[in-house]
Amino acid sequence: MRNIVKKVMIVIIVLFYFELTVYAEDIKNTNNLIKEAKKIIQMRNEVGDKLLKILKDKNKNPNLRISCAKILSEINYIPAIKTMVEYIDLYDPEHIITESSIENTYPLVGILRTYGFASVPYVVTGYIEEKNKVKKDLLLFVFLSDKIKRKAIIYVVGYLETCNEENKKEKIRKLLKLLKQSSK
């Protein structure tokens, strides 16, 4: 009986040791994975900052700036949204398509749509603050996607309820009316 108990105890100890080894290896692998993820995030932010700097540079070729905006949206670089709203009317005169759409002529409209809801607060604020009619219209076009429009309406309703400035409230009401009209 004692031998059986000893053997069972040895098996339990071996299994316990094996489990601890596997667990320690999992922790090591997970820690390595976390370190790699942090490096990737840092690299993404560094690349994003450089691309954003090019996007902001009015002396750079418009096509290059538009390409930077596309990549920034592909890596979901949120700090670029505000700049894209500011340069919503950016276009490349050499690449205008004769049968063009708004997105072909002004690519930042479509690029901002790819950000989804993340772009809504920036686009709404940009629309409310913008004085240039063309830019205002382009910002409104960002919301023509049904997926974004519904979320934008919800956001604008909430924004209206929390806004204390009467001048701004009137602009928000106008935007809300336009969004609701385009939903019909």
Rounded-to-integer distance, Cα 179 and Cα 184, Å: 9
Give the residue-averaged pLDDT of 156-167: 92
pTM: 0.79
Confidence of residue 17 (pLDDT cuts 50, 70, 90): low
**Average pLDDT of span 114-136:** 95
Check whether 3 has a pLDDT greater than 70: no
Alpha helices (H) along the chain? 2-56, 62-74, 81-86, 102-105, 107-114, 120-129, 133-142, 146-162, 166-183
Per-residue pLDDT for 99 more than 70? no
Whether the CB-CB separation of 118 and 78 falls below 8 Å is answered with yes
pLDDT of 87 above 90 = yes
Instruction: Write the single-letter amino acid at 152.
Output: A
Locate 101 and state its tokens.
Answer: 């759409």
pLDDT at residue 98 in the model:
60
